[in-house]
Structure 1
Amino acid sequence: MSNLTTAKAFFELCETGRGWEACRAHCTPDASFAAQAGALAEIRTLAQYADWMQGILTVLTDGRYELHAFAEDAERGEVVAFATFIGTHKAGGPMPPTGRTTRTDYVYAMRMRDGRIAHMTKVWNDGYALQELGWA
């Protein structure tokens, strides 16, 4: 399986809230995670992030993404995805449902090792998304 195919499979599973159990086959067991976003400050592993996405989709129950670009830089062993996440706060979460919707852009930069994702950085303005949802 190519790096691009592996990353696309992971992206689809992660973004549809399938959790780590579904995503793990596409990642190294010790895959790390980083983001400069307060909402994700405690998340250090890709397993934690995949499970976080699974959880957020129980709050933003209509959550979905629009994929804008997916590309591989084979020389550097990186695959990048650019998308917009759309979701409305309809259940649970940090407060009673607000009924508000976010349309928030993000990028996944996935570092590949031996055909699997070894590290992922998420570039995301969480403050903007939290404001749109009425959480900040």
Structure 2
Amino acid sequence: MSNMETARAFFEACETGQGWEACRPACAEGATFAAQAGALADVTTLQQYTEWMKGILTVLTDGTYELKAFAEDPERGQVCAFATFIGTHKAGGPVPPTGRTTRTDYVYVMRFQDGKITHMTKVWNDGYALKELGWA
């Protein structure tokens, strides 16, 4: 499978809340994660992040995404995905359900080695999303 195909399979599994078991085949052992977002400050592995996404979709039960771009930089071993996440707070969470919706843009930058994702950076303005949801 090409890096693009692997990245696409990972992206779709992650964004639909399938968790680590569905995402693991695309990832190298010990794959790391980074984001300059307070909501993800304690998340340092892709395993943790995929489980975080699984959990957030139990709170934003109608969560979905609109994929805007998907591109590969083979020289640097990177695949980037740009999307908008849309979700309404309908259940559970840090506060009682607000019924408010977020439409928040984000980018995944997935670094590959030997056909597997070794690291992913998420570029996301969590403060904007949390404010839209009424959580901040």
TM-score tier after normalising by the smaller chain length: over 0.9
Identity %: 78
Name the SS of the counterpart of 1:10 in structure 2: helix
Which residue of 2 is the match for residue 105 of structure 1? 105
Unaligned runs of 5+ in 2: none
Structure 1 letter corresponding to 2:37: A
Deviation at 1:127, TM superposition (A): 0.1
Q: Deviations over 1:5-52 (max 9, x none)?
A: 000000000000000011000000110000000000000000000000
Q: For the residues of structure 1 that align with 2:29 and 2:23, how far apart are their CA atoms? A: 11
Unaligned runs of 5+ in 1: none
Q: For the residues of structure 2 that align with 1:46 and 1:60, how far apart are their CA atoms? A: 21
Q: For the residues of structure 2 that align with 1:37 and 1:7, how far apart are their CA atoms? A: 22
Q: Deviations over 1:50-105 (max 9, x none)?
A: 00000000000000000000000000000000000000000000010000000000
Q: Could you say what the CA RMSD is over the residues aligned between the two structures, in angstroms? A: 0.3
Which residue of 2 is the match for residue 46 of structure 1? 46
Q: For the residues of structure 2 that align with 1:99 and 1:12, how far apart are their CA atoms? A: 25
Count the aligned residue pairs. 136
Which residue of 1 is the match for residue 34 of structure 2? 34
Q: Where has structure 1 moved over 2 Å in runs of 4 or more? A: none
Normalised to the residue count of structure 2, the TM-score between the two structures is 1.00
